[in-house]
Structure 1
C-alpha cells in the first residue's frame, strides 16, 4: 500500500509543530512542503515523520535526522532571515539544510562522510534547493572557508561548542544548539556581540548526541 506522505507532513505540522509553539509561518510552510522522507534511507521512510530522531546511517558513529518539533523550535529560536548566510553542522542527508534554504539567503551544510555529502547534494538538487550545498569536513571544526555566518545551527546534542565555531559568526550572529545539562539537554541561543558570547536557555530537549563535541579536559603541567 502506498504511503500518503503529504498527509503525514500535514499531520506533523498540525500535531507536532503548532501545538508546541512553532508559530513562524515560513517554518511551518517549509516543513509542510519539503519531503522529509527523501532525506532518510528508503527502509526508514515510513518512520520519517515520527516525533523522535531517526537514524539515517548505522554503526557507532550513526547520523540522525533530528526530531521535527525540536528542530523547528531550534531554528525558530535562531530567527533566520531572508538575507542570512547559514552554516548547518551535522546536516545528515540535507533535510535541515533544505528547510533552512527556504528561510535564508544561502546555506552551507557540513558533514564528515563524503558519501553523505554526495547523496545529500543529489537530494537537494532533486527538490531544487539551489541556494544550499553540502560540504565535507570535521563537524567540530565548522567551515571557516565560507565564514562569517549570520546563523550556525548544530543538529544534535553537544557538551560544548568549540570557540573556533563561535569565531565563524559575524558580529550579531546567532548559534543554536542543544547543550548537555544533566539527564536532559537545554536548547540554547548563543549570540555574539563585539566578541562577547551570551547564552539564553529556551527549552528542554533530548536529542541524539553529535560526535566530536565532548567537553575538553583541561591540560595540567607540572
Structure 2
C-alpha cells in the first residue's frame, strides 16, 4: 500500500526545498494537503512525481516545483482573496486555501469542476468556492482580487482578467515560449500590469489564453 504521507514529505524535501522555496506557509500547505486526493484515481500512485500530471488533453496539474516557486514569487498573504484560474481537480486551490483568506477557483470543464468541488469539500477546504465558467472570463462578481494564479501556460492574458485584479495586486502565469516557457509575476500599479520574469517552467496553453493569429493573404 502506498505511503502517501511519506511521499508528501519526500516531495517537499526533494522538489520544493531544493528549489529555494523556504517560506513556512508554502511548506506547511504542501506538507498538509493530500495531493493524491486531487489527481485522477488512475494516477494516484504517481501523485507526487516531479512532473506535470495530465488531467485531460491540454490540461495538467502543475508539477510541485513549479507550483511552489509560483506561490513563492507571488507572495500570497493570509488576508488575500485569490482567484485560481484553471482549477482542474482542485489541488492548487486546496494549497492556496491554507495560505489565503479565501479562494475562488474557476474551472470551465463541468466534470472537473464537480469533482474539484467534491474533493475540496471532502478534504475540508471550506474557504474555497468553485465556479464553473470560461477560464478567460474569471469571476468578476467575486472580485477584485488581491492575487490571481493562472494554472497553466498562456500566450496572452485577457484584459477581462487583469481588470479583476486590485491595484497593488499580483498575478502569476507561465508564458509559453516554444517548447519551454517562463513564469512571470505581474504587478498592477495605477491600473497597468507590469510583468517580471521569475523562473523557467513549462505547461500546456490553457483554452482562451492563445494569442490571436495574425491574418495574412
Determine if contact 1:158/1:209 at 8 Å carries over to the other structure: yes
Determine if contact 1:53/1:208 at 8 Å carries over to the other structure: no
Kindly state the Cα deviation for residue 218 of structure 1 after the two structures are TM-superposed.
5.5
CA distance in structure 2 between the aligned counterparts of 1:142 and 1:9, rounded to whole angstroms: 31
CA distance in structure 2 between the aligned counterparts of 1:64 and 1:202, rounded to whole angstroms: 21
Kindly state the Cα deviation for residue 70 of structure 1 after the two structures are TM-superposed.
0.2
Aligned counterpart, 1:96? 92
What RMSD in Å do the two structures reach over aligned CA positions?
1.4
CA distance in structure 1 between the aligned counterparts of 2:74 and 2:214, rounded to whole angstroms: 31
CA offsets, 1:130-175, max 9 Å, x none? 1012110001111111110000000011111111110000110100
CA distance in structure 1 between the aligned counterparts of 2:54 and 2:151, rounded to whole angstroms: 13
TM-score w.r.t. structure 2 length? 0.95
Aligned counterpart, 1:52? 51
Structure 2 unaligned blocks of 5 or more: none
CA offsets, 1:178-215, max 9 Å, x none? 00223321100001011121110011111232222110
Structure 1 unaligned blocks of 5 or more: none
CA distance in structure 2 between the aligned counterparts of 1:31 and 1:77, rounded to whole angstroms: 16
Please tell me whether residue 73 in structure 1 is matched to residue 69 in structure 2. yes
Kindly state the Cα deviation for residue 56 of structure 1 after the two structures are TM-superposed.
2.3
CA distance in structure 2 between the aligned counterparts of 1:118 and 1:102, rounded to whole angstroms: 21
Runs of 4+ in 1 over 3 A off after TM superposition: 217-220
Aligned counterpart, 2:195? 199
Alignment of 1:168-183 (within 5 A): 168-183=164-179
Kindly state the Cα deviation for residue 106 of structure 1 after the two structures are TM-superposed.
0.2
Aligned counterpart, 2:17? 18
SS of the equivalent of 1:82 reads: coil
Kindly state the Cα deviation for residue 98 of structure 1 after the two structures are TM-superposed.
0.3
Determine if contact 2:58/2:204 at 8 Å carries over to the other structure: no
Please tell me whether residue 117 in structure 1 is matched to residue 113 in structure 2. yes
Aligned counterpart, 2:142? 146
Aligned counterpart, 2:26? 27
Determine if contact 1:56/1:92 at 8 Å carries over to the other structure: yes
Aligned residues: 216
CA offsets, 1:39-86, max 9 Å, x none? 1111100111111110123xxx45311111001100111111011000
